[in-house]
Amino acid sequence: MKLLKIFILGLFVVFLSDAAQSQVVTYSAAKSLLNTEQIKVLAKAEKYIDKAEAKISKAEAIEKKYEKKKRKKKKYNKKTWEAKKFRIQAEKDYLRAYQDASSVYSQIIVGATYYDDSDKSEAHKLNDDAVSLIESADKKMSKYNKKIGDKKYLKKLSYSSVTGAASSARSSKENAYSKQTEALDIVLNQGKKKEASEKDNKAWANAQNINTITSYQDYIDNFPSGKFISRARQMIRQLQAEQKKKKPVVSNYVFKVQIAASRNPVSKYELAGKYSNTSEIEKEYSGGFYKYRVKSFPTYSQAAAFRDQLLNSTVPDAFVVAYDKNGNQVEVTDEMKTH
């Protein structure tokens, strides 16, 4: 039974050494978020890690020297008092490293611009939890830190007490680091959220500019989780109600927007780059060219508004074409533009 206990204690010491060496405070993925001063703070934190590992090495050397005395706990505790001191000091250095790193990451997380309120709440919650864990790690080692200069206390101190507290403190620090890196990933993802938000805003502005049931429905189809979904639905209902009150628009022409033309067929992949909803694209072959057009509008002004939307996004050479009641393409006249 005694041999088993000694074996377990030995494994625990090895575990403590290996885990201590694996401690990390710099999150390389977040490098782009750091300013010069923050980089300096993290470099300083890494030096504390190096100091801690040097102390761990000293502790291990002492433990190895008195390894044969492990069977006699009291004697082993007395002989290895300095090793316990080094381990306590090492945890103090590790703590300082994590505190410095945590301070840097907190600045980034709290000061970031978020494009989603739920992201902000989640990142701040993770950061708050991390700060609490760092404080918890400090408390777990505080009683040992206070008596680190008391040789008599260290000789009587149980080795398992020190290693147990150090292991628990280390776990808190590592969990804190894990939570903050998760929060930093949320911050890093805000670039994509910003781009999506800008596209959403632009699409909504275009829908409002055209101001038709079709334009608002296009917004809903292309941005099913967009910020303006409810307003788009509201505008559709409003325009539908207005249509019921008005006499239907009688037009002798149909207006479409041409997005591409080529002597050879254009691939679906290339067309998708111009207009994502490829199922709406109509193909026509005339005059030796394959012509690709989208939408149908009863008035030129509506078609022109949609053309402008494409001109400002994916089709810099889009233009309006007109058809008569028989489906024949006709020239767009000034009179058409005024109706």
- In this structure, the answer to whether residues 150 and 22 fall within a common structural domain is yes
**DSSP letter assigned to residue 247:** P
How many angstroms separate the CA atoms of 317 and 310, rounded? 9
- Mean pLDDT of all residues in the chain? 87
| Res 7: pLDDT | 39
β-pairing, 253-262 with 282-286? unpaired
Q: Out of 15-24, 118-127, 234-243, pick the least confident.
A: 15-24
Decide which of 150, 171, 188 is a domain's last residue.
188
Helix (H) or strand (E) holding 297: strand 289-297
CATH number at residue 307: 3.30.70.1070
Of 208 and 76, more confident: 208
- In this structure, the answer to whether residues 328 and 294 fall within a common structural domain is yes
Whether 12 has a pLDDT exceeding 90, the answer reads: no
Decide which of 228, 248, 268 is a domain's last residue.
248
For residue range 13-69, list pLDDT tens digits in order.
443 444 444 578 899 999 999 999 999 999 999 999 999 999 999 999 998 998 887
The reported pTM is: 0.61
- In this structure, the answer to whether residues 201 and 332 fall within a common structural domain is no
Task: Count other Cβ atoms within 10 Å, centred on residue 263.
Answer: 7
Number of domains the chain contains: 3
| Res 9: pLDDT | 44
Decide which of 248, 271, 287 is a domain's last residue.
248
How many angstroms separate the CA atoms of 315 and 306, rounded? 11
First to last CA, the chain: 99
Whether 3 has a pLDDT exceeding 50, the answer reads: no
- In this structure, the answer to whether residues 268 and 327 fall within a common structural domain is yes
- In this structure, the answer to whether residues 30 and 146 fall within a common structural domain is yes
Cβ(276)–Cβ(222) below 8 Å: yes
For residue range 210-223, list pLDDT tens digits in order.
888 889 999 999 99
- In this structure, the answer to whether residues 169 and 312 fall within a common structural domain is no
- In this structure, the answer to whether residues 299 and 319 fall within a common structural domain is yes
- In this structure, the answer to whether residues 169 and 26 fall within a common structural domain is yes
- In this structure, the answer to whether residues 241 and 337 fall within a common structural domain is no
124 is in which domain, residue-wise? 2-188
Decide: residue 110, CB within 10 A, 0-12 exposed, 13-18 middle, 19+ buried: middle
What six digits make up the tokens of 61? 């050397």
| Res 247: pLDDT | 64
| Res 250: pLDDT | 66
- In this structure, the answer to whether residues 255 and 160 fall within a common structural domain is no
Whether 263 has a pLDDT exceeding 90, the answer reads: yes
- In this structure, the answer to whether residues 241 and 260 fall within a common structural domain is no
For residue range 290-333, list pLDDT tens digits in order.
999 999 888 898 899 889 888 888 888 999 999 998 889 999 98
- In this structure, the answer to whether residues 205 and 296 fall within a common structural domain is no
With a pLDDT cut of 70, the percent of the chain lying above it is 92
For residue range 146-197, list pLDDT tens digits in order.
998 999 999 888 888 998 999 999 999 999 999 999 999 999 999 888 888 8
Cβ(94)–Cβ(167) below 8 Å: no
